[in-house]
Structure 1
Amino acid sequence: MPTTRPRVKNDRSFYDEFVPRVSEAHLAARRQQILEAAWRCFSRQGFHATSMQDVFAESGMSAGAVYRYFPSKADLVRTTAEGIAGIAEDAFQELLAEDPVPRPDESLRRVLLHVTQLTTSHELDRTKIALHVWSEAVRDPEIRGIVTIVADRIADRWAQLAQRWRDAGYLPADADTRQVARTMYGVMIGFVAQRHMIGLGIDDYLDGFAALTRPPVLSR
């Protein structure tokens, strides 16, 4: 008699247990493939000039496959905002773990070096995508909400550093660390903006910041 293969029941349907199932890892990899294709398009063209057809072509996937993960371009933009807006967060872990704490100019140097290293190619520059995210936040309340959450998180990191700078004597004893944190966040994103708008180099930017923050050497 022919052997009947066992069938397994779940809460939705019957299916053959011998049919291969798509793993969670495979689904995550496909989703990331689409997202990175969209990032390349956004980096080259911005959000508004990029169509879903551009994403289909860039990813090499069908419309149905892409829409399975991202039902609309708005979903891609939101996911991009969540992933890109916090591009500097990882840089703070090492800084906060160091003792003694690096000076403010050295801390900024390391954060900005981390940010610039996220430029993996001419076609995928995450700092350029961050500019598009910040610009979109001006007109889209949902994107602004995402950016605000991330900005607050990064400001918290700067505030932790500012507290240690104050304790180490790099800041006045009465310095408001939250105000310092917001200023440092502005200095950080200001570099990203000037880098793309006028081609400002990191060394010139850091030299200017160091000149502002280091105490002058008094001549005798």
Structure 2
Amino acid sequence: MPRVSEAHLAARRQQILDAAARCFARNGFHQTSMQDVIKEAGLSVGAFYRYFKSKNELITAIAGEKISAVTDVLDQLLETEPMPPIPVMLEQVLEVVDAAVDNGGPVLIAVQVWGEAVHDPEVGALVAEIYGRVRGRAVRTAERAQATGQLPPDADPAGIGAAFFGLVQGYILQRVLLGNVDRQLYMNGVRALLG
């Protein structure tokens, strides 16, 4: 029997993740069954369960994949010389958020996962780890901004990182709940608050 290539396995796993993301965005996390995802992916039950055993595994994989887009942007910006001002960095992260909202709803899933994390300790722990990565990048951004004189020497990088992360989450909630948040208007408000 021929061995299945790593590329084939990765493509099949992505096929399942894409199908799950469509189902969760369309019907919600709780209203989507594993059978719904299997049908959407066009796979047999056995083929599906080779990759994922539960909805929690699916949602964790989707969240990790989508958060990587944000952490990648922050990592690139942190390596830029000179480092861009914090509002510029925030706006670039929000561009990633907008693309995720406009491309089929992965951000809609994020908000569902936040709600699930409140009630499910397993999801809560995974969400804390995944979102902790973004917040960690935000703290490093503040530390670097402080080292380059963008922030006062007595500023608290942990507090600034938490606020930066909160601005991203606040934007996501407004995009999902209100639907008509203009990124430029939001950024004008952020710049005015920062003085």
TM-score (norm 2): 0.90
Q: How much has 1:87 moved relative to structure 2?
A: 4.4
How does 1:8-157 map onto structure 2 within 5 Å? Answer: 19-119=1-101, 121=103, 124-157=104-137
Q: Which amino acid aligns with 2:176?
A: H
Structure (1/2) with the larger helix percentage: 2
- 1:178 is displaced (CA, Å) by 0.7
Alignment partner, residue 139 of structure 2 = 159
Q: How many residues align?
A: 194
- State the alpha-carbon separation in 1 of the partners of residues 160 and 56 from structure 2: 34
1:48 deviates by: 0.2
| Aligned residues of 1:86 and 1:150 also touching (Cα < 8 A) | no
Matched, 1:171 2:151: yes
Do structure 1's residue 209 and structure 2's residue 190 form an aligned pair?
A: yes
When the two chains are superposed, the root-mean-square deviation of aligned CA atoms in Å is: 1.8
2:56·2:123 contact (CA, 8 Å) conserved in 1? no
- Give the distance between the partners of 1:86 and 1:165, measured in 2 at CA: 22
1:142-169 deviation digits (Å, cap 9, x = unpaired)? 1111111122222221112112222333
What amino acid does structure 1 have at the position aligned with 2:139? Answer: A
Write out the 4+ residue segments of structure 1 that deviate beyond 4 Å after TM superposition.
none
Q: Answer yes or no: is the 8 Å Cα contact 1:85–1:133 preserved in 2.
A: no
Look up the SS of the partner of 2:7 in the other structure: helix
Cα distance, 1:155–1:77 mapped onto 2, change above 3 Å? closer
The amino acid of 1:107's aligned partner reads M
* C-alpha distance in 1 between matches for 2:66 and 2:16: 15
Larger Rg: 1
- Percent identity between the two aligned chains: 43
TM-aligned CA distance change 1:167 to 1:68, over 3 Å: closer
Structure 1, unpaired ranges of 5+: 1-18, 215-220
Give the letter aligned to residue 81 of structure 2.
Answer: D
What is the CA distance between 1:85 and its match in structure 2? 4.5
Instruction: Give the Å deviation of 1:139.
Output: 0.8
Contact 1:105–1:210 (8 Å) recurs in 2: yes
Contact 1:84–1:129 (Cα < 8 Å) also in 2: no
Distance 1:172 1:47 in 2: 43
One-letter amino acid matched to 2:172: V
Decide which moves more: 46-55 or 75-84. Answer: 75-84
Please tell me whether the aligned partners of residues 42 and 50 of structure 1 are also in contact (alpha carbons under 8 angstroms): yes
Contact 2:16 2:48 in 1 (8 A): yes
CA distance in 2, matches of 1:73, 1:141: 14
User: Residue 156 of structure 1 aligns to which amino acid in structure 2?
Assistant: G
Q: Is the 8 A contact 2:63 2:130 kept in 1?
A: no
**Offset at residue 72 of structure 1 (A):** 2.9
Q: Shift of residue 42 of structure 1? A: 0.8
